Structure 1
Amino acid sequence: MSAATDTILEQLKTLSLLEAAELVKQIEEAFGVSAAAPVGVAAAAAPAAAAEAVEEKTDFNVVLEGLADESKKIAVLKVVRAITGLGLKEAKDLVESTPKDVLTGVPKAAAEDAKKQLEEAGGKVALK
């Protein structure tokens, strides 16, 4: 910093809040600028932040949305039991009450593996 800017900075530090507000107003009028933060920039940054949050998702839900064919119900039921460790009645209730979460909060690799197994057995599956 130059000596002139150091001097101005030291003088600014001694201003009261009211004096600082008056100084801002005078600078805005003298130079035709605004000290307010641009709203458009903050609004434009929000969708970008939301997109980044979606990309960083690490936990997934495996959702059984239905059966590709009703004749595949037993095969899907067996896979649900193997993946979840549920008993026969609980697995049957899950398969019959689609759409239903089969697994929740699992890593991407485990979710994709479960999806693959369920689809091969005849289920319609989505990762959320």
Structure 2
Amino acid sequence: MIEKLAEQLVNLTIKQVNELASFLKKEYGIEPTNPLLVSSVASSDKEKYSEKKEEEKNIFDLILKSSGNSKLAVVKLVKEITGKGLKESKELVDNIPNVLKESVGKKEAEDLKRRLEEIGAEVELK
């Protein structure tokens, strides 16, 4: 019985939560200690999911999909971006697709993508 009641309470909409709060106050004199808590209970999970999704949009992985026609220029730029040696950079370019850089901020990711695309590489931000 308690589990069923808990399940019903968790699935209430914001409007229903507010109606329940008003009913409990009117009929039983029970008032929530934090009025903002009542309206946020039903939507807290949705808000957390939205916030997380927005945060994820600001962090990207830079993935090299193709080196294009100027492979040597791409290898040099990959070397500069990753800080790896020439051999390791060449291996990254030879084994496409490959993650060049992980967890990069949006501005830096877009700048690196632009620089790589200018020399003919195909890049994806995930």
What SS does structure 2 have at the residue aligned with 1:86?
coil
Q: Which runs of 5+ in 1 are unaligned?
A: 1-20, 25-33
Match of 2:9 in 1: 37
TM-score, with structure 1 as normaliser? 0.59
Match of 1:112 in 2: 110
Question: What is the CA-CA distance between 1:48 and the residue it aligns to?
Answer: 6.4
Distance, in Å, in 2 between the alignment partners of 1:51 and 1:99 is: 30
Deviations 1:32-56 (A, max 9, x none): xx772263759x9866653442222
Distance, in Å, in 1 between the alignment partners of 2:50 and 2:72 is: 39
* Identical counterparts, % of pairs: 37
8 Å contact kept, 1:61–1:127: yes
Q: Quick check: 1:55 aligned with 2:54?
A: yes
Q: Which amino acid aligns with 2:11?
A: V
Match of 2:77 in 1: 79
Q: Which moved more, 1:46-55 or 1:101-110?
A: 46-55
Count of residue pairs the alignment pairs up: 95
Q: Report the CA distance shift for 1:87/1:56 in structure 2 as closer, same or farther (over 3 A).
A: same
Distance, in Å, in 2 between the alignment partners of 1:84 and 1:109 is: 17
Distance, in Å, in 2 between the alignment partners of 1:40 and 1:96 is: 54
Distance, in Å, in 1 between the alignment partners of 2:95 and 2:12 is: 46
Distance, in Å, in 1 between the alignment partners of 2:50 and 2:96 is: 29
Distance, in Å, in 2 between the alignment partners of 1:50 and 1:124 is: 31
TM-score, with structure 2 as normaliser? 0.60
Question: What is the CA-CA distance between 1:64 and the residue it aligns to?
Answer: 0.6
Q: Which amino acid aligns with 1:54?
A: K
